[in-house]
Amino acid sequence: MKLLKNQKGQGLVEFALILPVLILILMAIIEFGFMFNSYLTLSNGVREAGRSAALGADDATVELRLREAASSLDGSQLAITVTPAHRSRGDQITVEATYTYQFLTPIISGIFGSGVTLESDIKVRME
């Protein structure tokens, strides 16, 4: 009878069991926030580069504009494509960018792999 009433450590044991799950969820939320920020930065950079392309900038200038607008991203993980190569007034221009987001926390990268590829594109008409 006395053993059933002595439960002083039960809460501590339950907390110790659930704490790793709570930490994993918290880390996943933070990681998703960083990944979403990277996607928004990439998307904004593509929009800026598309505007430059619509105004008649060459491919090198368009790529430079995207890299400037997305300067917080790792430039080595950023791939940019501008099509068509030769364009004239009224042509539709497509600016595409892919970025490989590398997870910051080792636990998340162990679960989901080394990274996620983020993609963004825009189609504009040359003025």
- The answer to whether position 76 is within a domain reads yes
pLDDT for the residue 37? 96
- The answer to whether position 1 is within a domain reads no
**% of the chain with per-residue pLDDT over 70:** 94
Mean pLDDT of the chain: 88
Helix (H, G, I), strand (E, B) or coil at 9: coil
pLDDT for the residue 109? 80
Task: Evaluate if residue 6 carries a pLDDT over 80.
Answer: no
- The answer to whether position 57 is within a domain reads yes
User: Using N-to-C axis directions, what is the helix angle for 10-54 and 59-69, rounded to 10°?
Assistant: 150
Task: Evaluate if residue 64 carries a pLDDT over 80.
Answer: yes
7 vs 41, higher pLDDT: 41
User: Which structural domain range is residue 61 located in?
Assistant: 11-125
User: How many Å apart are CA 39 and CA 32, to the nearest integer?
Assistant: 10
pLDDT for the residue 5? 63
pLDDT band for position 19 (50/70/90)? Answer: very high
- The answer to whether position 6 is within a domain reads no
- The answer to whether position 39 is within a domain reads yes
- The answer to whether position 2 is within a domain reads no
Q: Which one, of 86, 118, 122, 83, lies nearest residue 103 by Cα?
A: 118
Task: Evaluate if residue 1 carries a pLDDT over 60.
Answer: no
- The answer to whether position 5 is within a domain reads no
| Per-residue model confidence as pLDDT tens digits over 69-123 | 999 999 899 999 998 878 888 889 999 999 999 988 888 888 888 889 999 999 9
pLDDT for the residue 52? 92
- The answer to whether position 45 is within a domain reads yes
Number of domains observed in the structure of the chain: 1
